[in-house]
């Protein structure tokens, strides 16, 4: 900026010294047309126009037609004076700093000097009113205008590129289209204005109409773009405006090798505020929070936006890494700490924030925003308030959607390729007898190989595929029970289902049909459902569970101990069995707290008349310990790993309960449990 200002001073001084003005008139001798054009140039810049949405472009100089016409008709000095006055006026209106005002005045002075040199080089006539010289004058004037535009555009984009450490070429091209349209129209009109001024001052007034039209079009375009990128309720950028700011900063980071983060914040219980206090109060809450977020993001490296409904987004530029992004996210979250008073009602606002960092979690706006939104959903589900994106959070990635589609197509076939049930034996601890199995899903993808069951369920559970999958698994498990019974095996099979399955109106009818079709008694089937999911909405499934109880199908609460069930729920939901979460069972050997939890669950099961199953039994010590505590059944790798139905039949033929099982109850209880 200092170099441009210094260069402008030298250039102007040399131009005035080497090619003095054609005349330096007294005030009284200045032609009326000059005064008129100077006044009109100032008037059209009373409200300056900035290119829409751009932080890094020069203002549109609507008075450019007057300046270039003055340059041709009356020389360099009058044009320079008017242009400098206009520059000061424009950037005063934009509340620019003194440095920027000086820079832009110098930038335009250098551009005008270039235009003047073009006119001198082409020996342009000083009037274009005559027929003989009109064509050459118009051509010279257009080339002079082009020189003005090129020099001005290069100077401003070069300065901004150095300032924000971004590619000069990218910045130059980004703002070129708008400025070419506006300045090109003004430069093209300059010859007509010069011709009008050389004939009569009245024609200058008439010529001001088209220039005003260009001004209005530029301003309306700017206003429409501003409205399109601004949230009208809070005044913050909307999604489109936020996307533009993020893209600008991504370009900057790509060139400078720096990092940034995108945050997505979703308010908690905002719908409750709307329902209880009305939408007007909800709007005022959003406005107040918008002001708080704007104050929290008061630097150029932090931007707040409202992207719709009760969601806000934030840009954190110039960060050092993920930990820095988390620290700044905590500061953003602190804006919600104080209650908001609305109509003498105190509203406590809170929200969950998801964080995605460039370049680790994405290299474009869409990826960063999507991953921040995924992290926000994870933070909500954990009730943790803040989460940084990790691939395992994303249940809807392109790869997972492709996997979901492949699974659906496989399930639509009569014999689903790659979809198979494995069975893990459940052993009665007191006798060592195999009394049942748990059916476990396995899926072998044709190209990706074995898919982790937990990942598969996470992909399918929020889609229509989950219902198809559950029904196929139930049909296969009940059919296998029928085949086992035909061969003399009397086993009970446990099948996992989801809450969404129990919400289906035809679930009980389908299950009844399959049991009757395969000739399997209902008591041979046990349905397992995750405790935490069932406890989240127990009322909606009571009717289904009542039908299942009447049918004779048992219900088991899986992962018991993690969902905070109450005894009231356990009795209302017709539960016949609880399965101790394997995290507690696996930790029994070294964690007294886990032992205490297991003991409490077993005692609770006894008190309520429920069968208690321990899963995750992997060694003899844990098995003995569970038996001493009175646990009913156990499953885990200590007895057998999950296996296909054919292997299970062979395993059962070889299996013999160890004789020591009958004597275990005489073993003293481990000291750490006394």
Q: Is the pLDDT of residue 325 over 80?
A: yes
Contact 581, 559 (CB under 8 A): yes
* Least confident segment among 55-69, 377-391, 424-438, 631-645: 55-69
Q: Is the pLDDT of residue 549 over 80?
A: yes
Q: Is 658 exposed, middle or buried (0-12, 13-18, 19+ CB in 10 A)?
A: exposed
Peptide bond just before 359 cis, omega within 30 deg: yes
SS (H, E, C) 413-472: CCCCCCEEEEEEEEEECCCCCEEEEEEEEEEEECCCEEECHHHHHHHHCCCCHHHHHHHH
Q: Which two three-digit tokens encode residue 101?
A: 């005002």
* Least confident segment among 103-107, 392-396, 488-492: 392-396
Q: In what order do the strands lie in the sheet with 311-319?
A: 302-308, 311-319, 259-267, 351-358, 386-388
Q: What is the pLDDT of residue 264?
A: 93
Q: Which two three-digit tokens encode residue 491?
A: 């086993």
How far apart are alpha carbons 97 and 120 in whole angstroms? 35
Mean pLDDT (whole number) for 176-197: 71
Q: In sequence order, what are the residues at sequence separation of 6 or more whose Cβ sits closer than 8 angstroms to the Cβ of residue 4?
A: 103, 106, 107, 110, 155, 159
**C-alpha pair distances (Å), 124 with each of 52, 144, 189, 336:** 36, 10, 17, 66
**C-alpha pair distances (Å), 472 with each of 86, 346, 465:** 77, 52, 11
How far apart are alpha carbons 255 and 268 in whole angstroms? 38
pLDDT tier at 263 (50, 70, 90 boundaries)? very high
User: Per residue in 338-390, pLDDT tens?
Assistant: 878 877 777 778 889 999 999 889 888 988 998 999 899 888 877 778 999 98
């Amino acid at each position: 900026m200092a170099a441009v200002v210094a260069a402008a001073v030298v250039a102007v001084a040399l131009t005035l010294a080497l090619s003095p003005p054609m005349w330096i008139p007294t005030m009284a001798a200045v032609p009326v047309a000059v005064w008129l054009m100077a006044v009109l140039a100032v008037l059209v810049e009373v409200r300056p126009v900035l290119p829409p949405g751009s932080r890094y472009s020069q203002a549109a100089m609507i008075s450019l037609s007057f300046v270039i016409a003055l340059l041709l008709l009356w020389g360099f000095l009058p044009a320079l004076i008017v242009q400098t006055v206009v520059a000061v006026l424009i950037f005063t209106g934009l509340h620019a700093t003194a440095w920027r005002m000086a820079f832009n005045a110098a930038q335009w002075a250098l551009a005008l000097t270039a235009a003047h040199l073009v006119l001198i080089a082409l020996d342009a006539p000083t009037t274009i009113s005559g027929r003989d010289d009109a064509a050459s004058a118009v051509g010279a004037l257009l080339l002079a205008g082009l020189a003005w535009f090129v020099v001005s555009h290069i100077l401003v984009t070069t300065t901004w590129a150095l300032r924000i450490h971004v590619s000069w070429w990218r910045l130059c091209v980004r703002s070129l289209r708008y400025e070419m349209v506006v300045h090109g129209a003004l430069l093209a009109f300059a010859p007509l204005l010069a011709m009008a001024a050389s004939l009569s001052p009245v024609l200058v007034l008439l010529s001001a109409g088209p220039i005003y039209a260009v001004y209005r079009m530029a301003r309306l375009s700017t206003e429409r773009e501003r409205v399109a990128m601004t949230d009208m309720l809070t005044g913050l950028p909307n999604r489109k405006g936020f996307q533009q700011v993020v893209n600008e900063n991504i370009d900057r980071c790509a060139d400078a090798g720096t990092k940034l983060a995108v945050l997505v914040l979703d308010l908690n219980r905002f719908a409750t505020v709307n329902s209880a206090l009305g939408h007007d109060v909800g709007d005022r809450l959003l406005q107040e929070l918008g002001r708080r977020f704007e104050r929290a993001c008061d630097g150029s490296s932090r931007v707040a936006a409202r992207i719709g409904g009760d969601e806000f987004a934030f840009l954190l530029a110039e960060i050092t890494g993920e930990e820095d992004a988390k620290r700044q996210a905590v500061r953003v979250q602190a804006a919600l700490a104080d209650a908001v008073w609305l109509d003498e009602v105190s509203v406590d606002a809170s929200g969950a924030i998801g964080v995605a960092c460039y370049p680790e979690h994405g290299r474009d706006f869409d990826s960063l925003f999507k991953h921040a939104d995924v992290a926000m959903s994870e933070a909500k589900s954990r009730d943790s308030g803040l989460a940084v994106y990790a691939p395992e959070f994303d249940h809807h990635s392109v790869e997972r959607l492709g996997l979901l589609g492949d699974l659906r197509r496989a399930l639509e076939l009569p014999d689903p390729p790659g979809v198979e049930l494995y069975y893990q034996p459940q052993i009665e601890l007191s006798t060592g007898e195999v009394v049942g199995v748990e059916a476990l899903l396995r899926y072998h993808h044709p190209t990706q190989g074995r898919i982790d069951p937990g990942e598969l369920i996470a992909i399918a559970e929020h889609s229509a595929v989950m219902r198809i999958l559950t029904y196929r698994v139930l049909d296969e498990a009940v059919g296998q029970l029928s085949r086992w019974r035909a061969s003399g095996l009397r086993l009970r099979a446990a099948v996992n289902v989801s809450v969404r399955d129990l919400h289906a109106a035809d679930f009980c009818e389908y299950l009844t049909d399959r049991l009757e079709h395969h000739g399997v008694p209902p008591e041979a089937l046990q349905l397992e459902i995750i405790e935490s999911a069932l406890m989240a909405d127990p009322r909606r499934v009571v009717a289904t569970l009542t039908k299942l109880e009447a049918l004779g199908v048992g219900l088991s609460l899986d992962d018991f101990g993690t969902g905070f069930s109450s005894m009231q729920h356990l009795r209302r939901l017709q539960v016949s069995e609880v399965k101790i979460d394997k995290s507690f069972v696996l930790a029994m050997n070294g964690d007294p707290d886990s032992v205490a939890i297991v003991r409490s669950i077993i005692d609770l099961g006894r008190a309520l008349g429920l069968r208690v199953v321990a899963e995750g039994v992997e060694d003899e010590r844990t098995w003995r310990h569970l038996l001493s505590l009175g646990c009913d059944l156990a499953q885990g790798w200590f007895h057998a790993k999950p296996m296909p139905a054919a292997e299970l039949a062979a395993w059962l033929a070889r299996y013999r309960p160890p004789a020591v099982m009958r004597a275990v109850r005489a073993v003293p209880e481990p000291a750490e449990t006394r």
